[in-house]
Every structure is written in structure tokens, then in C-alpha cells.
Amino acid sequence: MLRKKRWTVLSVLVIVSLLFAGAALAGTLQDVKARGKLLAGVKTDFPPFGFVDEKGVNKGFDVDIAKALAKELFGKDTAVEFVAVTSANRIPFLTTNKIDIILASMTITEERKKVIDYSIPYFMSGHLLLVHKDSPVTKYQDLEGRKVSTTQGSTGDIVIGKLVPKAERVKFQHNSESLKALKDRRTEAFVQDDMLLVDLQKKNPELKIVGWPPFEPAPYGLGVRKGDAEWLAFVDKTLTKMKNSGEYQKLWDAWFGESKDFLLKLK
Amino acid sequence: MFDTKVIADNFPYLLSGVKFTVALACLVILIGTFLGVILGLMQVSRSRLARYPANLIVEITRDTPLIMQMFFIFFGLPALGIKLGTFPSAAIAMSLFAAGNAAEIVRGAIDSLPLGQFDAAKSLGMNYVQMMVHIILPQALRRMIPPMMGLFTTLIKDTSLAAIIGAFELTRAAQEIIERTYRSLEIYLVAAALYFLICYPLSYYTRKVEQRRVAGV
Amino acid sequence: MSYQFDPSVIVKFFPLFLKGVWLTVEISFISILVGLVFGIAGAVARTSPVKILRFLGAAYVEIFRNTPLLIQIFIVYFGLPELGLKLSPYASGLTALILYVGAYNVEVIRAGLEAVPRGQKEAAMSLGLNGVQTFLHIILPQTVRISLPALGNNWVALVKNSSLVSVIGMEELTFITYDLNALTFRSFELFGTATVLYLVLIFLLINIQTFVEKRFAYKT
């Protein structure tokens, strides 16, 4: 009896999963203006792009760009609410309308382009390796057969899977957890975007960065919902305006000035 | 080695997470119990139209991990046009999970009543609703209380899963502090202690009620 | 934009799903067995005449039952290295699951111990069995038999709870699904498939448990 009931449950499930419906899409620009504030998806574990300081305040390059967008929209840079996202959940957050835009150090990839639209590139990033000072690893090829921390949904994870399939990836949901595993010597390296690792290395002098120059470079873009042309045009226009007015360069210098010698140039 | 300053500095932030944990737990307990009683009554109903959908919900919510249900509602449902935020997703997934488990407790309690009770109510000329309200539910209620309270403790602990889809509550607050400080042991231990302070009184009281019931008082 | 359903990802990733299912089964099985040992040891401690043992048994049960498993997993994997104890994700996940299900088993087995009639012990002693023999041959088998239905509930809960070790990178069913979702964004198909796989797993477990219960039931 009980068993029969369970199989009914199963078959109903299968039928339900075959049904589907579409999703309506409104213009984000009007939504944002009507709401009076911008919902910006930023990271909290990715300095210097997005992190939270001791007082719980969101800081970083991405955070400042969100503020500039708010200023362009409403004339004041406080009309923005920051929503914490991770590499794995930022795209679902966007497609489910929890945020208006992704400002989360997100690399432009073909796979993601199928799901969302990207702004013009606003940063050029490659991948590096963070290892212990005494590590024999000097380049990504050395990772073969070794344990490597990666963050789920990050390009670092994808790139290592492609370049060094024999590396043993240990995957975490947050960058802080990937770093912790390396610091505890559970893994021998942490592969992520160059700028993040530079920042983390500064705070953790027992670690060093190897694998120069940054490999598999790719530009970052801001992410908006697919097909929302008006909103995308507004975002692109604002980014271009920031670049032309020198505001972009000012932010860049403030957050990355110390590292300018090795950072890849945005073409 | 053990950093007490990091605990003192971040304690207020953890408490701000406790507020959301308590709010989520209360919400889920209220909605879950309400839906659970309805589902439980549907399960013992004579009508197939009531029994089958109730059985379906109860089986799915009880036989899959809660985190899968959260993932499905948060990540999967947008495909059907249903788009919910992290907190509502967690609240809905947990309410359904609570309802399924509460329904099973209600059904179990009603099934355990002697058949004579049903016959007696009918011979008094009561209709189905009268019988349920006046005879069956009051008696079943006494048997439901200990397992219901056990379920509430489980639900409070399970609110921690909301952190995995990114909803802010105690566990997520702890993770955010660790992202800044890298002091996992201290922060998670304090978070565990806070959960313990909320759950222990409830489970202690549950045991007392259970003992009293078994003793027949 | 409307979501385009693509059932082909289920076929494409099915071998990966099966790999995840296998690890879920493996860790659940080990936790069920070792958790039973923890449950018996804890129950013996809780019913012991020695006060300190009773206290330790009670502390174990209360601490592990009144805090979230998720936090326990984080403490074992991310917290313990600060004390010099570094376990792999596999060992950490198993440790946390075993300690958790063990605490629940203690209460079930204690109730079972108390349900064995006193006369059984006296009869065994009068047959010349010593304390340990009496416990192992007379008391324990009856206890486990009495406790089986409630233990079964703990096992179902365990299989569901094993999904939480995904947060420390243990590549079981939930991890595989979450990881594929982060890479392909085919959320509906992926989480739908995983849900059905869990249902199948739990149904199988319940059927096995019903079989075992019948097999060892008292003949009446």
C-alpha cells in the first residue's frame, strides 16, 4: 500500500517536471526608477572588488561602480541597496529579479552569454596561483596530481578543469573557504582571478603568488537580464561616460594603483 | 590561539543574525503547523480527492533533503516563472517541509485513537466536522504535542540551511564575519552556542511533557 | 526571455549524477553502521550507574541534538584545523554525520534498553553469564530489535542530512547538482533530477528497512 503510494508520487513528479511555462519580462530601467533605488548584486568575499569592512559596510571597485550608476539614475550615490552574491548564485539572483545588475567581478564567458547580457568590458583579469611560501609549485602545469582549492562557479575552477584535468580540485562555495583550505594546507594552491589573489596575499604574508603572467585572461562585464536592451544601453552609456570623464581612472587608481605594473590592460 | 576579541567585536553582528533566525523559525512553525493540520486531516479523509494530493505533498517533503527543496524553489522554479527572493524561498521551502512533517504527526495521532471513538461520535449523530472538532482532534492533540515540539526544534536548527542559498540569518552572519576575520572556530562555536540557547529549553521541555504523558499524568 | 527546457542535460550528466548517488549511498551506509556503535555506547553511558558517564552521555546527546548539523560540519572542517586537527572533506563529513546520527541513536537505544524486561537480565545472570555476556547476548539483541523502527527513522533522516556535506566539497549527489547548476544554469532539470534520485534512494531504504524489521520481528 505504502509502496504503491510512493510510486504514484514518483510518476506525478515526472509528469509535473515535463510541464513548463514562460517568464514575463519588464523593463529594468522603469522598475529601478519607480522603486527609487538600485538593487546591486555585489560580492562580499572578493576584495578589492567587493567586500565588507569591520563596520559591515560594502566596499570595493564594483561597489563604487554601483554607486556611480545610482548617482547617474537618481543624482545621489546612496540610492543603492547591496545584495550579497556568490559566483554560483549571482546569475540566478539576476534572472529571478532579486537584483537589477551583477557587479561581481564576473568574467564574460560564452556559456554565461547564453543566459544573460553583458555590458562593455570594464576590467581585464587573468588567473594566478596562490601557494605557500615553501611550495614547489611555480606554474599551473605543476598542479597535476595536486589538490587545488577552487570556488564553485568561478572561471578559475573551469580553467583548471580544462588546462590541468589531472589536478584534484577541491571546490567551495565561498572564496574565503577556498583560501582557508589553502592556509590550513588542506590544498596546495588556490586558483582564482589575479587581483583577488594579490589582495589576499597582502593579508597573508605566509603565502605567495606564482604562475605569472596571468593565464587565460578574460574581461569582466556587468551582467543584466537577457533582452533588456534599454537597461543595457543605460549601463553601457554610464560606463563610457565614466571612462571619458576620468572618473573610471580615478576609481581604478584608488583600488588597483599599487598593482598597476602587472595588471593586464583592458583593450 | 583562541581569539576572544574577535568574538566580542562581532557579537552584535551575530545577534542581528539571530533576529532573522528567530523570525524565520516562527514564521515557518506557524505556517507549517497550520498547513500540516489541514494536510493531516486530508490524509485521513475518506475522499480520494483530498487524500491523494495530501499524500503527494507529504511524501515529497518528507523523502527528499530540505536543501534540495530549497534549491528547487530558489533555482528551479524561476523556469516556471515563479521568482522568489532568498528569504521567501527559504520560508516557503521550510513551511512546506514543516507542513509535510506536521501532517504525518497529525495523521499518526488520529490513526492511533481507538476506533470506538469514531463509532461513538457517529452514534451521537455528529457529522464529520463535528466529530473531528469535538471528539477526535482534542484527543489527538495530546498525542501530537511531544512530536510537534520535537519538529519545532528540528525546524529551528534547519533554518541554518537558508544560509546556503544566501538568505541572511545566524549562520550566514557567521560566514560573513569569517570572510573578514578567518576565525572559523571561534565564530562557529559561538553561533552553535546561540543555536543551543534557543533549542535546548524547547527540547528540555519536550522531554518533560513526554515523561509526564508516559507516566499517565 | 523565457526559460528553454532542455532535458538532454539530464542524459548528458547522468553518469555524474550516478557518481554522486554512489557517494551518498557510501557515506550513508558507513554512518548508519558506525552511528549504531556510537548510539549503543552512548546509551550504555547514559544508563550507567557511574555519574560521570551519565553526564558525558547526556552532554553528547544534548550538544549534538540542539545545534545545527551544518554548523557542526563547518566546525569539524574549518574550525578544528585551528586546534591542529586536519581531516579531509571525506573524513570531516563522515565524522560530523556519524556524531550527529549517533546522538539521535543514543536516545532511541536507551529507550530500547529500558524496554527490555528486568527478568531477562536476572535470568541470564542465574544461568551463569557474566555482565558483559549478558549484555552482548541477551540484552543488546532485544534492544536493537525493539529500537529498529525508530532507528529506521534516523536512517532516513541521515540519508537526507548527508546532502549537507556538499558544503565542504564532498562530491555527493547534492554537490554534483549544485556544481552543474553553477556551470550550466539548467536549474529546473538538474534539481528536478536530483529530487527524483533522492526519492528513489529513500524509497529503497524504507523498503529495505521494512524487510529487515519483518525478518527480525518477534514471532507472535
Q: Could you report the per-residue pLDDT of C65-116, keeping only the tens digit for each? A: 999 999 999 999 999 988 989 899 999 999 999 999 999 999 999 999 998 8
Phi then psi for C155, rounded to 5 degrees?
-70, -40
The reply to whether A72 and A197 lie within a common domain is: no
Of the candidates B9, B79, B85, the beta carbon closest to that of A98 is on B85
The pLDDT, as a whole number, for residue A22 is: 32
Instruction: Return the CATH number at C133.
Output: 1.10.3720.10
CB-based contact B51:B43 (threshold 8 Å): yes
Q: What is the DSSP string of chain B?
A: ---HHHHHHHHHHHHHHHHHHHHHHHHHHHHHHHHHHHHHHHHT-S-HHHHHHHHHHHHHHHSS-HHHHHHIIIIIGGGGT----HHHHHHHHHHHHHHHHHHHHHHHHHHTS-HHHHHHHHHTT--HHHIIIIIIHHHHHHHHHHHHHHHHHHHHHHGGGGGGGT--SHHHHHHHHHHHH--HHHHHHHHHHHHHHHHHHHHHHHHHHHHHHHTT-
| Separation of alpha carbons A192 and C89, rounded Å | 21
Residue A204 inside a domain? The answer is: yes
- Tell which of B20, B80, B179 to mutate to test the A interface (max A CBs under 10 Å): B179
The answer to whether residue C135 neighbours chain A at the CB level (below 8 Å) is: no
Lowest mean pLDDT among B83-87, B101-105, C45-49, C160-164: B83-87
Average pLDDT in the A122-134 region?
Answer: 95
The reply to whether A164 and A207 lie within a common domain is: yes
| Separation of alpha carbons B58 and B101, rounded Å | 7
Instruction: Single out the residue in A184, A202, A217 at which a domain terminates.
Output: A217
Kindly indicate whether the ipTM for this predicted assembly is greater than 0.90, answering yes or no: yes
Of the candidates C168, C185, C189, the beta carbon closest to that of A115 is on C185
Which residue from A minimizes the CA distance to B60? Answer: A9
The reply to whether A180 and A232 lie within a common domain is: no
Q: Is the pLDDT of residue C200 over 70?
A: yes
Interchain CB distance below 8 Å, C71 and B71? no
Q: Nearest CA to CA, how far is B167 from chain C (Å)?
A: 15
Chains linked to C by 3 or more Cβ pairs within 8 Å: A, B
| Separation of alpha carbons C123 and B94, rounded Å | 50
Each residue of B56-66: b (16+ CB within 10 Å) or e?
bbbbbbbbbbb
pLDDT band at A20 (very low <50, low <70, confident <90, very high): very low
pLDDT tens column, B41-93: 999 988 899 999 999 999 999 999 999 999 999 888 888 888 788 899 999 99
Bridge-based pairing of strands A101-102 and A38-42 is parallel
The reply to whether A157 and A242 lie within a common domain is: no
Q: Nearest CA to CA, how far is A187 from chain C (Å)?
A: 10
The residue behind cell 556519524 is: C98
Bridge-based pairing of strands A147-151 and A168-172 is parallel
The reply to whether A131 and A195 lie within a common domain is: yes
Q: Whole domain around residue A178: which residue ranges?
A: 125-217
The reply to whether A104 and A153 lie within a common domain is: no
Nearest of A201, A263, A267, A227 to residue A61 by alpha carbon: A263
The reply to whether A238 and A209 lie within a common domain is: no
Which residue from A minimizes the CA distance to B61? Answer: A9
CB-based contact A233:A64 (threshold 8 Å): no
Of the candidates A24, A89, A180, the beta carbon closest to that of B166 is on A89
The pLDDT, as a whole number, for residue C7 is: 84
How big is the B-C interface in CB pairs under 8 Å? 125
Residues of A with CB below 8 A from C20's CB? Answer: none
Instruction: Return the CATH number at A34.
Output: 3.40.190.10
The answer to whether residue C211 neighbours chain B at the CB level (below 8 Å) is: no
| Separation of alpha carbons B213 and B143, rounded Å | 8
Q: Nearest CA to CA, how far is A197 from chain B (Å)?
A: 14
Which residue from A minimizes the CA distance to C169? Answer: A171
Q: Nearest CA to CA, how far is C74 from chain A (Å)?
A: 10
Residues of C with CB below 8 A from B188's CB? Answer: 71, 74-75, 78-79
The answer to whether residue B84 neighbours chain A at the CB level (below 8 Å) is: yes
Of the candidates B75, B81, B195, the beta carbon closest to that of C68 is on B195
Residues of B with CB below 8 A from A20's CB? Answer: 79-80
The answer to whether residue C184 neighbours chain A at the CB level (below 8 Å) is: yes
What domains appear along chain B, each with residue ranges and CATH number?
Answer: 4-215 (1.10.3720.10)
The reply to whether A30 and A43 lie within a common domain is: yes
Interchain CB distance below 8 Å, B185 and C75? yes
Of the candidates A10, A20, A91, the beta carbon closest to that of C185 is on A91
Interchain CB distance below 8 Å, B75 and C161? no
The pLDDT, as a whole number, for residue A131 is: 97
The reply to whether A108 and A97 lie within a common domain is: yes
pLDDT band at B181 (very low <50, low <70, confident <90, very high): confident
Helix C173-184, helix C14-46: angle, nearest 10: 140
Of the candidates C83, C188, C198, the beta carbon closest to that of B68 is on C198
The pLDDT, as a whole number, for residue A24 is: 38
Residue C43 inside a domain? The answer is: yes
HEC string for chain C: CCCCCCCHHHHHCHHHHHHHHHHHHHHHHHHHHHHHHHHHHHHHHHCCCCHHHHHHHHHHHHHHHCCCHHHHHHHHHHHHHHHCCCCCHHHHHHHHHHHHHHHHHHHHHHHHHHHCCHHHHHHHHHCCCCHHHHHHHHHHHHHHHHHHHHHHHHHHHHHHHHHHHHHHCCCCHHHHHHHHHHHHCCHHHHHHHHHHHHHHHHHHHHHHHHHHHHHHCCCC
Grid cell digits, residue A16: 509535473
- Tell which of C10, C170, C191 to mutate to test the B interface (max B CBs under 10 Å): C191
CA-CA-CA-CA torsion sign (A236, A240, A243, A246): negative
CB-based contact A188:A135 (threshold 8 Å): yes
Residue C29 inside a domain? The answer is: yes
Residues of C with CB below 8 A from A20's CB? Answer: 3, 5, 188
Q: Is the pLDDT of residue A82 over 50?
A: yes
Structural domain tally of chain C? 1
Which residue from A minimizes the CA distance to B6? Answer: A54
The reply to whether A252 and A210 lie within a common domain is: no
Residue C93 inside a domain? The answer is: yes
| Separation of alpha carbons C130 and C141, rounded Å | 16
Residues 6+ apart with CB under 8 A from C186: C6, C9, C180
Residue C42 inside a domain? The answer is: yes
CA distances from B135 to A30, B164, C144 (A): 57, 44, 37
For the CA atoms of C75, C78, C82, C87, what is the dihedral angle to 10 degrees?
90
Q: Is the pLDDT of residue A27 over 90?
A: no
Residues 6+ apart with CB under 8 A from C57: C42, C43, C45, C46, C48, C106
Residues of C with CB below 8 A from A172's CB? Answer: 168-169
The residue behind cell 532485544 is: C142
Q: Is the pLDDT of residue C2 over 80?
A: no
Interchain CB distance below 8 Å, B59 and A21? no
Percent of chain A with pLDDT over 70: 90
Interchain CB distance below 8 Å, B166 and A84? yes
| Mean residue pLDDT across chain B | 91
The answer to whether residue C3 neighbours chain B at the CB level (below 8 Å) is: yes
Residue A79 inside a domain? The answer is: yes
| Separation of alpha carbons A47 and A60, rounded Å | 7
CA distances from A162 to A166, C67, C184 (A): 10, 40, 15
Residue C168 inside a domain? The answer is: yes
Residue A225 inside a domain? The answer is: yes
Interchain CB distance below 8 Å, A21 and B166? no
The residue behind cell 495521532 is: B109
Q: Is the pLDDT of residue A8 over 60?
A: yes
CB-based contact A240:A161 (threshold 8 Å): no
More confident residue, B174 or A89: B174
Nearest of A215, B189, B121 to residue C82 by alpha carbon: B189
Q: How far is CA C129 from the centre of its chain?
A: 33
Grid cell digits, residue B40: 493531516
The pLDDT, as a whole number, for residue A23 is: 35
Average pLDDT in the C196-220 region?
Answer: 86
Phi then psi for C199, rounded to 5 degrees?
-60, -45
Residue C196 inside a domain? The answer is: no
Structural domain tally of chain A? 2
Residue C96 inside a domain? The answer is: yes
pLDDT band at B151 (very low <50, low <70, confident <90, very high): very high
The reply to whether A242 and A111 lie within a common domain is: yes
Residue C46 inside a domain? The answer is: yes
CB-based contact C193:C8 (threshold 8 Å): no
Of the candidates C69, C74, C191, the beta carbon closest to that of B71 is on C191
Q: Whole domain around residue C161: which residue ranges?
A: 22-172
Residue A17 inside a domain? The answer is: no
Of the candidates B80, B85, B164, the beta carbon closest to that of A20 is on B80
| Separation of alpha carbons A171 and A174, rounded Å | 9
| Separation of alpha carbons C5 and C208, rounded Å | 35
Residues of C with CB below 8 A from B64's CB? Answer: 160, 195, 198-199, 202
Q: Peptide bond before A213: cis, by omega within 30 degrees of 0?
A: yes
Q: Nearest CA to CA, how far is B17 from chain A (Å)?
A: 13
